[in-house]
């Protein structure tokens, strides 16, 4: 099964990358942008999606500083 | 007194750490795939880019066979020093509290920094002069020390913060200017700046880094005596 793991800096943790992007957008004429956060996306095929939580805790994310969200794609290939 | 210096694919400060350790004792390299520490009495996890720093700095190195041995060694009370990438590895391994995030200046930064030594009564700072500061280089992109507020309060209350960036020196944005922390037991210590690059005044004008290695030697020999 195809899974996507979205990893982002925890709320309240300074994200200098997000701030840099937020400052860059108005310079390109995009107004009204706020609270930009830059994270990471891991896509993987897994036989047992039940293991994803533990993969995130152990390796894919650092739970001290990152939140993660697992999104499973339909096995029929939809989405 | 024998140091063991870990060597991962991507380590780049391993040989300087080896040379620094050899100024105060014997030292040998320990390849990451080994499951034993060869009888080393103190361990240095050196700087560099272990396993390419893929995913997060230290995230993969933390599971190296040699690191499993280091974790066991640390749990038995052995002295472990992590420098830069080694500090990141020790945090990922949960041998030290907190994490290292990207520098606030978003740049790889290499410069000499002045560090305040907060406690000269530890296994890693015992050879430092009370009240004196250390001048050693720092060079990294991911050196912003972070822990949540209750953890930071606890670290300070228990005296686990051993090194702080002096005023004006905290280029990476580390919380509370923390440059180096030890574990609660006091046998594991990590810092972002590089003591192994400041062991001879001929290079960089400071030999202050040697004090960290000398402290470990004194502590290890005291413990063995």
A75 — pLDDT class (breaks 50, 70, 90): low
Answer whether residue A79 shows pLDDT above 50. no
Average pLDDT, integer, range A26-31: 95
Q: Would you call B92 and A62 a contact, using CB atoms and an 8 Å cutoff?
A: yes
Task: Judge contact between B64 and B41, C-beta under 8 A.
Answer: no
**Cβ atoms within 10 Å, residue B119:** 17
Answer whether residue A77 shows pLDDT above 90. no
pLDDT at B223: 61
CA distance B207 to B202: 9
pLDDT at A76: 47
**Residues whose CB is less than 8 angstroms from the CB of residue B6 and which lie 6 or more positions away in sequence, other chains included:** B14, B29, B30, B32, B43, B44, B45, B46, B64, B66, B67, B70, B86
* ipTM of the complex model: 0.87
Q: Min CA distance, B59 vs chain A (Å)? A: 7
Which active-site residues of B does the annotation give?
Answer: 84, 194, 196
Q: Does A11 touch chain B (CB under 8 A)?
A: no
Long-range contacts of B167-171 (CB under 8 A, 24+ apart): B169/B113, B169/B114, B169/B115, B171/B103, B171/B105, B171/B109, B171/B111, B171/B113, B171/B138
Q: Mean pLDDT per segment of 10 residues, for chain B of length 225 residues?
A: 97 98 98 97 97 94 97 98 98 98 97 97 96 96 98 98 98 98 98 97 92 97 68
What is the separation of C-alpha B208 from the centre of its chain, rounded to a whole number of angstroms? 14
pLDDT at B153: 98
E strand or H helix that includes residue B30: strand B26-31
Nearest to B59 among A9, A14, A59 (CB): A59
pLDDT at B203: 84
Q: Exposed, middle or buried, A27 (CB in 10 Å: 0-12/13-18/19+)?
A: exposed
CA distance B40 to B45: 13
Task: Judge contact between B74 and B37, C-beta under 8 A.
Answer: no
Q: What is the DSSP letter of B206?
A: B
């Amino acid at each position: 099964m195809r899974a996507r793991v979205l990893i982002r800096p925890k709320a309240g943790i300074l994200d200098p990358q997000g701030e840099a992007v937020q400052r860059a957008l108005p310079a390109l004429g995009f107004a009204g942008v706020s609270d930009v956060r830059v994270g990471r996306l891991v896509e993987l095929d897994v036989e047992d999606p039940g293991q994803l939580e533990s993969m995130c805790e152990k390796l894919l994310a650092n739970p001290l500083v990152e939140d993660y969200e697992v999104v499973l794609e339909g096995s029929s290939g939809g989405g | 007194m024998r140091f063991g210096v870990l060597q991962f694919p991507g380590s780049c400060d391993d040989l300087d750490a080896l040379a620094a350790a050899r100024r105060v004792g014997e030292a040998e390299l320990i390849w990451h795939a080994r499951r034993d520490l060869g009888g080393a009495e103190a361990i240095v996890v050196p700087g560099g880019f272990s396993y390419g720093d893929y995913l997060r700095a230290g995230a993969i190195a933390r599971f190296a066979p040699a690191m499993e041995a280091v974790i066991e060694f640390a749990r038995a009370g052995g002295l472990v020093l992590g420098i830069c990438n080694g500090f990141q590895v020790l945090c990922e391994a949960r041998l030290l509290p907190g994490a290292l995030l990207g520098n606030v200046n978003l740049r790889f930064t290499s410069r000499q920094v002045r560090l305040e030594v907060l406690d000269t009564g530890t296994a890693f700072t015992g050879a430092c002069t009370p009240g004196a500061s250390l001048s050693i280089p720092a060079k990294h992109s991911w050196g912003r020390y972070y822990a949540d507020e209750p953890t930071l309060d606890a670290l300070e209350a228990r005296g686990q913060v051993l090194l702080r960036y002096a005023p004006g020196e905290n280029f990476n944005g580390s919380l509370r200017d923390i440059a180096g922390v030890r574990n609660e037991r006091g046998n594991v210590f990590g810092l972002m700046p590089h003591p192994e690059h400041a062991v001879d005044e001929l290079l960089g004008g400071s030999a202050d880094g040697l004090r960290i290695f000398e402290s470990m030697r004194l502590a290890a020999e005291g413990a063995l005596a």
